[in-house]
Amino acid sequence: QVQLVESGGGLVRPGGSLRLSCALSGRFLFSDYTMEWHRQAPGKQRELVAVVKDGGATGYTDPVKGRFTISRDNAKNAVYLQMTNLQPDDAGVYFCSARSYNSEYWGTGTLVTVAS
């Protein structure tokens, strides 16, 4: 079993920055998992934001390219999402997930609010 806990959400003004963290615990091998960040805005479906594989390869949804950076620290069993130039459309609950070929785990989310 894998447990995930997100942190770092909060209230920022448009153009501001936040750094989200996701800490993993349990009995697992971190390198077995592709790590992802998803988000869900009010009234919208949950969407994939960013992904990082064990070797460091990354991918992003088009609206966040150039503004968000996902990274992982294999020594600390942690994944991060650095978000810059935040816009109102970026607001929502951000979820961290860990995915292997035969399993998937989710955190309970951290809230990001973007408002003037």
Residue 88 CB burial class (10 angstroms; 0-12, 13-18, ≥19): exposed
Mean pLDDT across the chain: 96
Question: Which letter does DSSP use for residue 31 in this model?
Answer: G
Q: How far is CA 25 from the centre of its chain?
A: 16
pLDDT in tens, 25-44: 998 888 899 999 999 999 99
Q: Read off the pLDDT of each residue in 54-77 and give the average, rounded to a whole number.
A: 95
- Residue 8 confidence (pLDDT) above 90: yes
Q: Read off the pLDDT of each residue in 87-113 and give the average, rounded to a whole number.
A: 96
Q: Read off the pLDDT of each residue in 6-19 and give the average, rounded to a whole number.
A: 98
- Residue 1 confidence (pLDDT) above 90: no
